[in-house]
Amino acid sequence: MSAMERNANLAGVVVPFLGVIAAIVLLWNSMVDWTSIAIMVAMYLLTAVGVTVGFHRLLTHRAFQSYPLVERTFAVLGSLSVQGSVLDWVADHRKHHAYTDTEGDPHSPHVGHGHGLRGFWHAHAGWLMETQGQADWRRYARDLYEDPAMRRIGRMFPQLALLSLLLPTVASCALHGFTARGALEGLIWGGLVRVFFVHHITWSVNSICHIFGRRRFAIEDRSTNVWWLAPFSLGESWHHNHHAFPRSAFHGMRWWELDIAGLVIATLARLGLAWNVVRIAPEVQRTKLIA
């Protein structure tokens, strides 16, 4: 990883955190209203769906198929979550599945940094300064690498990251008036604070969901299901289910396992925008249960 990549990723971790500090100070001075909170929630849902349904279930695991236009839209929405280019994200994540919790996993809390707090931090955000974006596209993301449109979206990541901050700023100005205060409120709440939450929830799947929580299936890795992260992660925290059946479009596998990303995919299928949706039959699930 080059020094420039490392510094860019460090900025990606630190700047939203500073935004949260600014937000706390502003909240103290009551510089937030329901309009700003609504912009933040809308941006959160849009970009978290981009990363969970788009980057993860569609583009990494091909849990369903869709039109090229829908694929590209999801690639753009996922990029707005400011987690690196779509090609890097997919390649890193496929490598995580290829080497889960063994040597070669880009972000295991159990490899190379002990099993304690240092391992936790490595899996959460430390890996961004070490292994992020180092997986070979030709080996781990060949399908995207050979798609010129995807490569273009990947190359546009810096501009899309800026757009991710610009959109809520403009929305806030439109609703609050084009003043410095209107712009700042949108930038901080809908931009930086929202990016902070999307980041840390996504990273929690890498850290918390490989350490704490429950296991159901007889598989080799250390992945876990973490129920309390399910609403925020849109269902990605049924991560043990996901490692047992990586291609499944649905990570929640029992009726009570809330899986909002799965509901989005089911809705897309009903609208005719998704097909060949991968479902794992209950009898197939039972074959992997811990005896």
Distances (CA, A) of 224 to 195, 207, 213: 25, 10, 5
Residue placing its CB nearer to Zn ion in the complex, 71 or 105: 105
- Quick one: 194 or 251, whose CB is closer to Zn ion? 251
In angstroms, the Cα distances linking 34 to 25, 26, 31, 272 are: 17, 14, 11, 35
**# binding residues, Zn ion (CB under 5 A):** 1
The nearest distance, CB 209 to Zn ion, in angstroms, is 6
Please report how close the Cβ of residue 233 comes to Zn ion at its closest, in angstroms: 12
CB-wise, 169 or 248, nearer to Zn ion? Answer: 248
Cβ 191 to Zn ion shortest distance, Å: 27
Q: What is the DSSP letter of 55?
A: I
Residues 63-92 that bind Zn ion (CB under 5 A): none
Q: Show the tokens assigned to 229.
A: 């992260």
Give the shortest CB-266-to-Zn ion separation in angstroms: 19
State the nearest-atom distance from the C-beta of 246 to Zn ion, in Å.
Answer: 5
Instruction: Please give the single-letter amino acid code of residue 26.
Output: L
Based on CB atoms, which residue is closest to Zn ion, 23 or 201?
A: 201
Q: How far is the CB of 34 from Zn ion (least distance, A)?
A: 35
How many angstroms separate the CA atoms of 284 and 37, rounded?
43
Tell me the residue nearest to Zn ion as measured from the CB. 223
Nearest to Zn ion of 9, 223 (CB atom)? 223
Question: Are the beta carbons of 190 and 36 closer than 8 angstroms?
Answer: yes
Q: Are 186 and 167 in contact (CB under 8 A)?
A: no
**Helix residue ranges, H only, the chain:** 3-28, 34-49, 68-79, 86-98, 117-124, 137-140, 142-145, 148-155, 157-176, 180-185, 194-207, 230-233, 239-244, 260-270, 282-287
Looking at the Cβ atoms of 131 and 223, the one nearer to Zn ion is 223
Question: Closer CB to Zn ion, residue 184 or residue 274?
Answer: 274
The site string for Zn ion over 190-229 (x = CB under 5 A, - otherwise) reads ---------------------------------x------
Asked whether 209 and 237 are in contact (CB, 8 A), the reply is yes
Beta-carbon-side half-sphere exposure of residue 278 (alpha carbons within 13 Å):
15
Structural Rg of the chain based on CA atoms: 19
Interacting residues with Zn ion (CB under 5 A): 223
